[in-house]
Amino acid sequence: MLAAMSASPLTPRSPGDACARSSGDACPGALRLHRADDGALARIRIPGGVLTPRQARELGNAAERFGDGELHLTSRGNVQLRGLAPDCGADLAGLLEGAGLLPSQRHERVRNVVASPLSGLDGAGITDVGPWLAELDRLLCASDRATELSGRFLFALDDGRGDVDALGADLTLIGHDAGAALRVGSTDPVFRLPCAEGPRALLVAAGSFLDAAGETGAWRVEDLPGDAGTALADEVVRRLRQAGVTTSPAHRPRPLEARTPVPGPVRGGGREAALSVGVPLGRLDLAQWQLLSSAGEMRLTPWRGVVVTGVALHAAEALTSALAEAGLITGSGSAWAGVGACVGRPGCAKSLADVRAQAGAAVGPRGRLPVYWSGCERRCGHPHGEWIDVVATPDGHRISHVRGDRAGGPVTVRDDPAALAAAVAAARGTGS
Ligand code: SF4
């Protein structure tokens, strides 16, 4: 079976390329730990953010045994463990492999896949992305060529509702009419194709990207020089036709805003319940994690939340109360909704401030726009679309209103927490 799977649509370019690209890509992984100020850091890729209860339990064990006991959710629905001992790599890898979280060591950093977290639950999408997710992961892990992708290259599987399509992935497969649509980078039009061909088309497109990237050093589609992104889309269509996949262009602009899951019960009928839960600053302690993982299957969202599925109907209300009591967001109106921050001090040496503490201190009435606090100009994990950017600078905290690629109206506040909180609240506006 494995031999058959390795005949993937990706074809090799040259033997040295994988090494050359991977040597410059310092993206952390489960096997490549990153040294941070609070110890080593591991980033564990979780395609679609989907964790079985057992996998979630084992991840909690890993955080407790090797790390600081916390699980940090990322903007791609992955998990970071922090505060790891520098020599824990082999034991951590063994634990993850035993839990099925490391199906291929060679591919662990390229399994970057976000998927609509409410797909198949609330009836709002066109396609259930579950089968796409399983097939894409299988094809990725069976492909030698896929190991050449950088740890930053992102696949998105959108069930048609436009949530993860808004996240700026390199390749996006979208539920569309009675089939699927493929977006290459931010291109519009997208290309219609049969639903069942979607995952294979993503692999063809990833191979085309690697060829286009060549020696340019591009890690992502948006890094390609000039109008190479448009040329790439044309080349993908040509290769798909060559592979016998029928395509036709369709107009579908990339959504400016993601429609994120609203905290609370997910309405969809059926004999089981699902709950959407917000996680303040994306950080879960062990007790919170265990509460969530014991309730059902977890889907970690790219907005640092969790959708728990398979909850017995009779247990849903008690679970909601327990989660709220544990400090998680289980309904609309929470002051924490839309508040995000990078790790900041003391975990990151680049940070000029303890932005998580500052974000917490500034939490007030619920704001209309999301806000993201960064300890430096890199803005790791910032949101997309329209948001309020708060960056620690040597001159104080700079607050800007970001819309797409543009930022405007910067205000800088220095050494005055009350003034800072007031300025952030004013920038976010009121209402939902
Ligand atoms: S944004 Fe800057 S301070 Fe924050 S985690 Fe990234 S590098 Fe560190």
Dump the DSSP string for 125-137.
SSS--HHHHHHHH
Whether residue 133 contacts residue 90, with contact meaning beta carbons closer than 8 Å, is answered with no
Nearest-10 crossing angle of helices 53-66, 286-293? 170
Q: Which atom of ligand 1 is nearest to the CA of 375?
A: 3
pLDDT at position 215 is 80
Looking at 250, 278, 296, the residue that finishes a domain is 250
**Together in a domain, 146 and 289:** no
**Together in a domain, 172 and 224:** yes
Q: How many domains does the chain have?
A: 3
Closest CA to 334 of 367, 285, 305, 304: 367
Among protein residues, the one whose CA lies closest to atom 6 of ligand 1: 380
Whether residue 190 contacts residue 182, with contact meaning beta carbons closer than 8 Å, is answered with yes
C-beta of 350 in contact with ligand 1 (< 6 A)? yes
For residues 201 and 239, give the distance between their C-alpha atoms in angstroms, rounded to a whole number.
Answer: 9
**Together in a domain, 51 and 141:** yes
Among protein residues, the one whose CA lies closest to atom 1 of ligand 1: 379
Looking at 250, 283, 300, the residue that finishes a domain is 250
Exposure string of 9-20, with b = 16+ CB inside 10 Å and e = fewer, is bbeeeeeebbee
Q: Considering the domain boundaries, does residue 404 fall inside one? A: yes
**Host domain of residue 380:** 339-428
Per-block average pLDDT, block size 10, for the chain (432 residues)? Answer: 35 36 72 90 97 97 96 96 93 96 95 97 94 98 97 97 95 94 92 96 97 91 88 94 94 88 86 92 97 95 96 90 96 89 93 96 90 96 90 96 79 93 91 52
Dihedral sign from CA coordinates of 271, 137, 114, 127: negative
Q: Is 117 helix (H, G, I), strand (E, B) or coil?
A: coil
C-beta of 34 in contact with ligand 1 (< 6 A)? no
The token duo for 74 is: 């990322």
**Together in a domain, 246 and 136:** yes
Q: Considering the domain boundaries, does residue 333 fall inside one? A: no
Q: What is the pTM of this model?
A: 0.91
Closest CA to 46 of 64, 66, 23, 71: 71
Q: Considering the domain boundaries, does residue 330 fall inside one? A: no
**Together in a domain, 120 and 164:** yes
pLDDT at position 431 is 55
Q: Considering the domain boundaries, does residue 255 fall inside one? A: no
Looking at 215, 250, 285, the residue that finishes a domain is 250
Q: Considering the domain boundaries, does residue 259 fall inside one? A: no
Whether residue 16 contacts residue 28, with contact meaning beta carbons closer than 8 Å, is answered with no
Q: Considering the domain boundaries, does residue 123 fall inside one? A: yes
Q: 329 — alpha (psi -120 to 50), left (phi > 0) or beta?
A: beta
**Together in a domain, 296 and 360:** no
CA of 346 to the centre of ligand 1 (A): 11
CA of 32 to the centre of ligand 1 (A): 19
pLDDT at position 25 is 76
